[in-house]
A and B are shown apart, each in its own frame.
Chain A
């Protein structure tokens, strides 16, 4: 049997392929993105980037209602967008297996929240599987399709950043049979009008009872018996860390963690002198264990926030043993080292817009993408970030509420297609006056250059029609649409000046491709002429990482290894020193 070192995301793709997935849908989002990127490479699974997670989940639901196995992938906050169809899909259920992979991000390595997807599983009343490693990712996604079909409902497979990105040695199997859809009419099941919906509602409760019983004996839940003193009830990757950090403890690691396996939990607890529940995120499992009348320790010793790393678990162990957690002596001044916050790349086209905005006293509502980095100095031209599409809608609400300064709302191109269009439409319809900007770099850049409806290419690499932002805006009724090259700072300033002075809304489209995607020089790399440089540091206001200032009294210099010759700094120099 072939074995390969796979990341959790690669293993999920492999498992779906081996599990006979027919179609897969998703929207990019760290840490989930690589699942579909990998699955699309197999060539015999239809894969697509949908414009957002709600569309993806609905499309997959269509496939699975028709009897085909489907996969949906998203990051944690994507499920907020897809929550609406999920709730009803739980009632009407599926015929072909449907696995919804949601990648949580304990520790918030690249997410705005640390929400716990298990809450959604309970709210929607659908099972949640929690693989702890790539090996389990491969196994669980296959089992997820089967469970989904056995119980006639979608299954959530929850990974975390650690699970999605860690590489484990996996054993590989062959391609599973992928059935085409063959829809069978059954309106009493598929149309949850109240007359039928009330019955479906009761069926869901019965289904959960069956699932709890099935979970009791499921091989997805694993017991590591190593003693009867301390018993740890846990799930996901922190279960693996527990096995290392608590070598004497027995560990019940739930893989099918909801509906709870009540009997299994009771049996395990009855054999232990003391039970502790160690789970990342909220005390969902712990509260349930307590509700079963099992005395246990939990969040009083286990942190609610952040990742439960082995180091954190050592602290948990100390607290359990009544010791103070050991303080690792800070070596040297490691704690005081300057950080390396992510910044807009050298030559990033977004810089032109943010730099242009520094000239005006405006409030800027931004959005989720590379351009979130416009918040950092010296640009400091993002004041609020909320959610996908929020850049437009926040701007509208703030300006309608009488904000005295002009309000500028920014979204990226992929975000525009994801959920910017409704906000734009709303603003036109309700006569809003904010300035809206699409920073269009022709790709979904932050997650690593995925295609979207505006790029003219699908995930499977096919050429397709290229949605036009300006045509959509015009169709919504926007009268003032200005397209600008963000590298031309004078043109950017002119467009912003006009837009901010106009008495109706303007949509500015700042258009230039992502330099990391293009990977070519945009122009000649400038060199600082020290005889002409007046040390005014005007160029440094761009915040370009290729411009370095070795000592504060000296001349800035251009780092040729980073510079791509975008020429913006040349335009900021009044003395011709660049």
Chain B
């Protein structure tokens, strides 16, 4: 099994949290993991991307070449488009619906969503809306992680255990809220 995953979004959306959850879960599942990150200038309101390479065979490089990614998880719809040329021909995009439009010339969001939906198997999810309806707007990233779970090749039980471990020190309420968010779309 090999999964090359690109996580994309805007600084502050919680992209590194879900990257950490996937990486730790993949390790528990016995995979080789490579996790490069983009840091620095991109942290504040800038575009953020994180790559993850999971493999049951040995892998060397930590970066994903263009046209080879199996999955793009985008916390912001336009940021999904930014990475489409990294996607393999049979790759899938799981994107959040809500745009972050605090920049000039944001393209029409309906066009973006239509473009993502045109990719076979891809999904646009109102993760902000779902998170808000669950009473924890900040768990948007975990909602989206739940939606992407069928494509990760990792047992969802392992992901749940990782989420519990990660949020434990913030209290049971936070753990429960995030598990609820994770299960909202994951089946």
Residues on A facing B (Cβ under 8 Å): 5, 7, 30-31, 109-110, 133, 161-162, 165-169, 237, 240-241, 243-245, 309-311, 314, 328-334, 337-343, 345, 448, 516, 545-546, 548, 550, 559, 562
Contact = CB atoms under 8 A, between A and B. Distances in A.
Contact of B46 (A167, A241, A341): A341
Interface stretch (B32-40, B145-153, B172-180): B32-40
Pick the most buried of B10, B23, B83, B84: most chain A CB atoms within 10 A of its CB.
Answer: B84
Given A334-B85, A338-B105, A237 B66 contact: no
18 contacts: A5-B35, A30-B41, A109-B38, A165-B37, A166-B35, A166-B36, A168-B33, A309-B65, A310-B65, A311-B65, A330-B85, A332-B84, A334-B81, A334-B82, A334-B83, A342-B41, A545-B45, A562-B102
Closest 7 CB pairs of A and B: A110-B40, A331-B84, A167-B35, A310-B65, A243-B60, A30-B40, A166-B36
Contacts of A244: 59-61
Contact of A331 (B40, B47, B60, B87): B87
A337 B82 contact: yes
B166 interface: no
Contacts of B105: 338
B103 interface: yes
B117 interface: no
B78 A31 contact: no
A240 B64 CA distance: 12
A167 B39 CA distance: 13
Given A165-B36, A328-B85, A334-B81, A310 B64 contact: yes
Contacts of B18: none
A503 B15 CA distance: 52
A543 to B, nearest CB: 11
Interface in B80-120: 81-85, 87, 101-107, 115
A546 B101 CA distance: 10
Contact of A243 (B23, B61, B82, B87): B61
In this complex, which of A167, A309, A311 has the most chain B Cβ atoms within 10 angstroms of its Cβ?
A167
Contact of B45 (A109, A309, A345): A345
B37 A334 contact: no
Nearest to A251: B60
Contacts of B103: 338-340
Contact of A309 (B23, B63, B67): B63
A61 B9 CA distance: 43
Nearest to A447: B40
Most buried by A among B23, B34, B38: B34
Interface residues of B, number: 44
A165 B39 CA distance: 8
Contact of A310 (B10, B63, B83): B63
Given A328-B66, A330-B85, A331-B87, A241 B34 contact: no
A342 B27 contact: no
A241 B44 contact: no
A240 B81 contact: no
Given A165-B36, A241-B60, A243-B60, A342 B42 contact: yes
A343 to B, nearest CB: 6
B62 interface: yes
A317 to B, nearest CB: 11
Given A7-B37, A338-B104, A241 B45 contact: no
Interface in B57-76: 59-67
A163 to B, nearest CB: 9
B156 interface: no
A331 to B, nearest CB: 4
